[in-house]
Each structure stands twice: as C-alpha cells, then as structure tokens.
A and B are shown apart, each in its own frame.
Chain A
Amino acid sequence: MPSIRFRLNGVETDIDADPDQSLLAVLRGQLGMTGSHFGCGVGECGACNVMVGDHTVTACDTPLWSVANKDVTTIEGLGNAQNPHPLQHAFIAEQALQCGYCVSGILMSAAALLHRNPHPTDADVRAALDRNLCRCGSHNRMVRAVLRAAAEMQAR
C-alpha cells in the first residue's frame, strides 16, 4: 500500500492505505477518530465535514489521495474541554443542539466561515451552513451560536 502524508490537526501524519478510500473511512477506521460522523456517504448531509486548508469538505466522498500534503482539521483539532474553540463555547452557551449527531460537521462549516469572514451576518451563517442537514430543528440556535462566537472572537 502506498503511504500518504498529510497534516492532521497540525500533526504530520503518514498513513498506509488505499488512496481511493474516503478520508472519513481512514479517520474513523485506521486513525480511530470518531468525531467526524457518517451520515449519507455521498456528500449530501455534512455530518462528516472537515476542513482541508481553509475550506470545508465532506470527508465521506473525499478520496484520501486528494489530501496528500495538505492540512486537514477535524473536530478533534478544533478545540477541547480545557481549551475550547469560541464556537464550541458558544454552542454550549446557546444550548445549540438536540441530538448533536450533525454538530461536529456544522462546527467545521462554521469554523471555515469564520476563517474567511470574521463578521458574518445571519444570512451569511445560514448560507455557509446550508449544505449541512439538521433534523432536530436546532438551526436557529446554531446560527445564534455562530454569531456569538464571531462576536467573542472579535472582542479578543
């Protein structure tokens, strides 16, 4: 098997795997990182969203070879309980979920948005999250949380 090298959450990572495998399968399987979720397998729901460089991609239909030598950020790299990303902090403050299965993908879409647009409007946030599906109906709370995180990052 060929070895593929990329930076995963800032760490140089070498992986021996079929380059045609999906990035999601490698993350959840070989790398044991289960924060990115499988939802549909064809890039239609966003539950598996990760960042490649500054952009969001659906990891379920992103082949491993396409991230060679690139920066991949997953939910595990966004922040943690000790050092939360403002988005994570804001999602807790706004209680912005119900079941939470879609949330890791939504946080990654939101992180990419704030990276390219630190002052988003309500409509900007909705447009950025439009390819993420949420079935519990927590959309408005999530939008509020993203706007709150943007304001918080601005105040820092």
Chain B
Amino acid sequence: MTDKVPSPSAPQLPPSLAANPILSSWIHLSPEGQVTLSPGKVEIGQGIVTALAQIAADELDVDIARVRTVRASTAGSPNEGVTSGSLSVQQSGRAVRHACAEIRQIFLRAAADRLGVKADVLDIVDGTISGPGNIRTSYWELASEVSLDRHATPGAVPKPAARRSLAGNSVQRLDIPDKVFAHPRFIHDFPLPGMLHGRVLRSELSHAALVELNEDGARKIAGLVAIMRDGNFAGVISETETGAEAALGALRKGATWSSRENLPDEDGLAEWQKAQRAELTVIASKAAPQPSENKRTIRRQYTRPYIAHGSIAPSCAMAQWNGDRVWVWTHSQGVYLLRADLALVLKLPVENITVEHMEGAGCYGHNGADDVALDAVLLAKAAGGRPVRVQWSRADEMSHTPFGAAMTIEIEADLDAKDEIVTWRHNIWSNGHTARPGRADLPTLLAATELAKPFPRAIATNPLRASGGGADRNSIPLYDFPSWQIESHRLTTMPIRTSALRTLGAQGNVFAIESFLDELAAERGEDPVTFRLRHLSDQRAQDVIRAVASRANWKPAKRDGTGYGLGFARYKNTGAYCAVIAEVEGADDIRVKRLTIAVDVGEAINPDGVINQIEGGAIQATSWVLKERVRFDHARITSDSWSEYLILRFSEVPQVQVELISRPAMEPVGAGEAAHGPVTAAIASAVFDALGVRVRNLPITRERLIAAMEQAS
C-alpha cells in the first residue's frame, strides 16, 4: 500500500487552516444567534478584527453585527504565528473564508436533512435557512446539533467576488467606537482584581551590569510589597502604581552600574558596518543571456539609520502565578511564540503557561511588548499569587526595545555605450532584521540576558526569502535588467539591539534602488516615469505608476523651491504594488507638501481600511525620512525621549491622496507596509528635483542637506 499523494491540481487548504484544521477552533455558532470568530492574528490598529468579520459574515450569510471576535490566547486560538509582515488578511483571511464556506455547506446539508429537501434549493439570509413553500430553519436552531469539531476539508468553495456583499465594501471598523468613547480596550486600562504594580530598574547604559544595589531607600516607600533581584535584573512590586514609581526612583538612587557595551560611532556607521564580521548570503544572481559591452560603471552608497518603533503607549503586561502555572496578558504580536520563549526562560513546559492577547498601541514591529511580558512574569513570582502589572517608562521604551536595523547599501551599475543598464550589483551591510521570540532555542527576551544565570543575547537574523527576506527584502529589482548580483552581509555582532520594524529591509532597499534609478534617469536626461516603465514588464506595476502619474499630473511645471519625485515598489516583490509621487518644498528644512499614491492590494476587503493603512504608512514613512534617527554615544542610547527622538507633527504632515486600483478577483494582500519604501524614495528624489542635491543618507535633515551640498561641490 502506498500513501495517497494529492495530485498537484487537487484543491488544498489555505496554510493557516491546514496548520489549525479543526473548524470549531475558528468559528462557533450559538443557539442565541451569535457567531464567534477566533482568529490567531491580533488587532494592532490595522483593522484586522473588522476585515475578518466582513469575510466571515459574507461567507456565512449573516449580518456583520452578529460576529464577535475573541482575542487570541494559547488557551484555544489557532496558532497563526505572528501578526506581522502585512499578512493578516492574506493568511487569516483566507483561512476564515475557507472555514466559513465549509461551515455554510455543513449547515446547508443539516438543514436539508431536517427539512427533507435537497440542499441546493435552500437559501441563507442572515442565518435563516429557507426554501420553497416557506420551509425554514436557521444556524441557531441547528447549532446544538451540528458539531464543528471536525477537520476542514479542501473541497469547500468560497463565494466568487461578485457575490460577496461586505468584502470589497468599506465598513466602519468595529473597534473604533470603544476607542473614541474611551471604553477600556487597551491592556493598560484593565486592572485585575487584587492587582499589584511592578517596575523594572534598568540603567540608561546599554547592556549594563548592576554592580551594587542599596535597597534601603526603596524599603521605606509606603505600599512596597517586594524588591526583586536576580543578577542584573532588579525590580519592585507595590500596592499602587505611584508607590511602584516612588520605590523604583529610590532603588535607582541606590544602584551602581558598569558599562559592558561599546557602541559604534554614530557618524561613522557605514564604515563601521562594513568592517564588522558578517555572514554573506547571495540573495540572487542572474547572468545576462549574452555578454554586452560595459562602457562605464556608476556606484552609489545609501544609508538609513537605526529607527525606533516609538509606540505612543509604553510596553505593558500583566502576569499571575498559580503554583507552577502562570497566566500572562500581553500585547505581543504572537502569543504562541512568546509562550515558547517564556518556557525556555522559566524552564517550564509550555502547558504551564497561558498567554492571552490584549490590545496595545500600534507597535509597528517587534517592540518591547514581549520583553515586558517576561518582566511581569519574573516580578509576579514575588507577588504571592496576585496579578502584577508592569509598565515601562518612556525612556526604557525609547532605549531598551529593539530598533529597526541601520543599513548601508551600495549599488553599482554597468552601463553600455547608450547608457543602458547591463549589470546591476546590490550589496547590503546590516544587522539582522528579526530577533522575534519563539523561533530558536535561545530566548530573545531582554530580561533573559540580565538574570544571574543569563542567556546569551540572541543576535538578530533575517527571515528566509520565502517569507519575504529581512535585510534583503525588496533588494531584487522588479525591473528587467539583463543581469544582477544581490548580496547581503549580516553583521554577527550587535552592540545595538535590532529586530523587526515595519518593512524590515524593504524601506532601505527601495530607497536605494529607486534613488539610484532616479540618478541614472537624470544622468540620461530621461523622464523618471518613462525610464521605469521601459524597464517594467509587469502590467500591475505599470498600472500603478501610470495611475499615480496621471493623478499627480506628472510632471508639473517647475517652480522655485518645489520638487517632485517618484518612488515605486511591489512590497516583498509578492505583495501590494505601490507608486508614489512626492511634492516637496523648502530650502534648509524640507517640507513634504503632498503625497499622491496609487496602490493595488488585489482584493481590498475593506477599501477604506486599506486607504487608512496606506495613508498611515505614508505619513509614518515621511516622519522616518525627514526626522528619525536613533542617537547614541559610546555607552548609551541618548534619544530616549520625544524631545530627543523627533517625529512628524500635525503641522508638518503632508496631504495624502490615495487611489486604490480595484482587483476583486485577485488574492488580497496587506497594505500596512506597502507605502514606506516608495514614499521614502519619492521624497528623496523630490528633494533632488527641488534643490539639485542628492541626499543619500537618511534622514533628510538640514544637517544632512548641508553635508550633501558640501560633498557635491
């Protein structure tokens, strides 16, 4: 007997559903008329709760008001890994759509049995199943008889796009009223009964050793429950939050630290990166079909700094021990992944740990959410079974969370006698772009490196290319150059902690590729839109560029002190297509006046939600480009407050116009990270158009403009 091997054309379950095939783990229908949706992805301000409810309501034929979403928990939710990479709709959405399509069929068959008719004469309207002669039943009547504790099968066919009534239409996000009326939704706003407050003592020095700790002052503070110390990890627990703050302040006065980390020179980062030990990966290599003449070579170097996530809320978590079991409440992006790392640190089986998600502020990647969860678990050990809530300070949030990695990118092009590109070489020097928990046998949580028996610090790595890559994300051009060589040098030292920040390496790579193309087009005296279209055979790519050019009336007449620039990318080369035209003005300080954007995300489940995400990404990217740079000296991160780490303010925000190209029959892909790279490139090229100065080192501040002018002259 041989195993049955499915033929390549056999229908397959969406990956998330294949990994979590029990239908009841996704959907529950109640006799009371409610649909409970239990996805493994979590709300991080991207509107996923609403998009998934739209999909479920559509496939099941119920009113969206009946759909309630429960928060992800290792106690029972499907394990969908991490909510990141603009994959929520792509992964969870497909699984929910497929599961609901099958559940609809299961209920239709059950209804047919009960009513004594064939299933194909029945129709479903808001959960009521009816047929000829006024026969009827409903999901709710059948709910207690039909078990969904069964495996999903690949056969179910979701509705065609034309028959969906919700997906594809803008619906109001389900979480917004709570947030506007200040009903508690955030983890920060949920006091548990008997809850204590914890604070962790961390030095302003990076990776410091706690040499001495005098606890006398802290012991005198009213409300103190415990002081905890384990190696370089120290903290307090108090009956009240103000008591915890006061005790922490007193403990800080009694602490002596020594520096153990030598940070690089912030003004010589590119040289430093190129001199570090690194692991080399050839990302792509393409040989030309026939050799062509190389007349000259142009080489340029582009850099971006370390960038902070800068969530408006400081990281927060709660934990409660019960014997050798612990319950953790967290705004982590991956409850199962966090649980895996907690198990490593605590040396407990994963079954002893329950990790439950609660909403936090927008995180934009791997910030301190997971770190503070371990802090809470460690402090709660001294709480005698009471829950402990730990919240970081703004300074810790800005200096001890991982940053988006600084990048140095060098691109070289060989040009033929007609100045056409014949070879393209792209080299990246950068730390890895992810050190998320739960992926290795070494925990990546901050406190794990601070304990008396410390775990070594996990050096950030890069996701595989199949997952979109890390430092190399979007490094392979979408343009049809005859040959190329793309290489990534991942640093194996990490004095400044790095991990996932929105787009990983894509923002840096798109900035470099698109800036370089703009330079080459300028060199040739060719219009940058024409130049790109000439090198793009992908129709959807051409369409977004044409759409944005038309929307922005490319190219508007030149006025003094005003400039226009174009940027384009398909996120991860497999996701959303996005083209941007930036209009900037200014001389010393650059102001981005307007961003015109065309985007194609395939099927847009919630079009206004997509536009909201694109606008947000575009404004955040503008902030990165004009303002943001993590500052440090040789011992510490110095940009540890909003007055040291500047972000874009209301008066500085550009107008943003988004045109969504509708493709209802195409697979939906995420929108959250599509705009960052193209916006970055468009602004940089617009600055060149306005001032004739090419800024190749982000951010484009007054100092960098002056430096670029000096270099040019």
Q: What CA separation (Å) do A42 and B643 show in the bound complex?
A: 10
Q: Across the interface, which residues of B come within 8 angstroms of A35, CB to CB?
A: 182, 189
A102 at the interface (CB under 8 A from B): yes
Contact of A100 among B179, B191, B242, B391 (CB under 8 A): B179
Q: Across the interface, which residues of A come within 8 angstroms of B45, CB to CB?
A: 97-100, 136
Q: Across the interface, which residues of A come within 8 angstroms of B240, CB to CB?
A: 29
Contact of B362 among A101, A131, A132, A142 (CB under 8 A): A101
Q: What CA separation (Å) do A130 and B643 show in the bound complex?
A: 14
Closest 6 CB pairs of A and B: A99-B45, A35-B182, A137-B619, A100-B179, A137-B616, A101-B361
* A39 and B312 in contact, given A127-B651, A141-B615 (Cβ under 8 angstroms): yes
Q: Across the interface, which residues of B come within 8 angstroms of A125, CB to CB?
A: 650
Contact of B656 among A40, A84, A136, A140 (CB under 8 A): A140
> Are B620 and A136 touching (Cβ within 8 A)?
yes
Q: Across the interface, which residues of A come within 8 angstroms of B619, CB to CB?
A: 137-140
Q: Across the interface, which residues of A come within 8 angstroms of B612, CB to CB?
A: 95, 98, 138, 141
B10 at the interface (CB under 8 A from A): no
Question: Which range contains the number of A residues in contact with the other chain?
Answer: 35 or more
> Are A37 and B186 touching (Cβ within 8 A)?
yes
Question: A residues near B, CB below 8 A?
Answer: 18, 21, 25, 28-29, 32, 34-35, 37-42, 44-45, 47, 75-76, 79-81, 84, 88, 91-92, 95, 97-104, 107, 123, 125-127, 129-143
Contact of A136 among B176, B362, B608, B641 (CB under 8 A): B362
- Smallest CB gap from B316: residue in A: A38
> Are A92 and B361 touching (Cβ within 8 A)?
no
Q: Across the interface, which residues of B come within 8 angstroms of A123, CB to CB?
A: 651
Q: What CA separation (Å) do A103 and B364 show in the bound complex?
A: 18
Interface residues of B in 608-632 (CB under 8 A from A): 608-609, 612-613, 615-620, 623
B1 at the interface (CB under 8 A from A): no
> Are A135 and B181 touching (Cβ within 8 A)?
no
> Are A81 and B184 touching (Cβ within 8 A)?
no
Extra inter-chain contacts (20) besides given A126-B650, A138-B615, CB under 8 Å: A18-B242, A34-B191, A37-B188, A39-B312, A45-B312, A47-B312, A92-B176, A95-B172, A97-B176, A98-B47, A98-B613, A103-B180, A125-B650, A132-B650, A133-B647, A134-B650, A135-B361, A135-B620, A139-B648, A142-B650
Q: What CA separation (Å) do A140 and B359 show in the bound complex?
A: 24
Determine how close the nearest CB of chain A comes to the CB of B367; give it in whole angstroms.
Answer: 11
> Are B391 and A38 touching (Cβ within 8 A)?
yes
What are 26 A-B residue pairs whose CB atoms fall within 8 Å in the complex? Answer: A25-B241, A34-B182, A34-B190, A35-B189, A37-B189, A44-B643, A75-B181, A76-B182, A81-B177, A91-B180, A95-B172, A95-B176, A98-B612, A99-B44, A99-B312, A104-B182, A107-B180, A125-B650, A126-B653, A130-B649, A130-B650, A133-B642, A135-B311, A137-B623, A138-B612, A140-B655
- Smallest CB gap from A103: residue in B: B179
- Smallest CB gap from A98: residue in B: B45
Determine how close the nearest CB of chain B comes to the CB of A19; give it in whole angstroms.
Answer: 13
Q: What CA separation (Å) do A142 and B649 show in the bound complex?
A: 13
> Are B313 and A47 touching (Cβ within 8 A)?
yes
Q: What CA separation (Å) do A31 and B391 show in the bound complex?
A: 19
Question: Which range contains the number of B residues in contact with the other chain?
Answer: 35 or more
Determine how close the nearest CB of chain B comes to the CB of A128; give it in whole angstroms.
Answer: 8
Interface residues of B in 287-314 (CB under 8 A from A): 310-314
Q: What CA separation (Å) do A35 and B178 show in the bound complex?
A: 10
Contact of B393 among A41, A103, A137, A140 (CB under 8 A): A41
Bitwise, B356-375 to A at CB < 8 A (1) or not (0) is 00011110100000000000
Determine how close the nearest CB of chain B comes to the CB of A108; give it in whole angstroms.
Answer: 10
Determine how close the nearest CB of chain B comes to the CB of A22; give it in whole angstroms.
Answer: 8
Most chain A CB within 10 A, of B175, B185, B314, B361, is at B361
Determine how close the nearest CB of chain B comes to the CB of A1; give it in whole angstroms.
Answer: 11
Contact of A101 among B46, B186, B616, B618 (CB under 8 A): B186
Q: What CA separation (Å) do A114 and B189 show in the bound complex?
A: 28
> Are B180 and A98 touching (Cβ within 8 A)?
no
Determine how close the nearest CB of chain A comes to the CB of B221; give it in whole angstroms.
Answer: 12
Determine how close the nearest CB of chain A comes to the CB of B391; give it in whole angstroms.
Answer: 7
- Smallest CB gap from B43: residue in A: A99
Contact of B616 among A21, A79, A136 (CB under 8 A): A136
- Smallest CB gap from A39: residue in B: B312
Determine how close the nearest CB of chain B comes to the CB of A85; give it in whole angstroms.
Answer: 9
Q: Across the interface, which residues of B come within 8 angstroms of A84, CB to CB?
A: 180-181
Q: Across the interface, which residues of B come within 8 angstroms of A34, CB to CB?
A: 182, 184, 188-191
* A133 and B180 in contact, given A99-B45, A126-B651 (Cβ under 8 angstroms): no
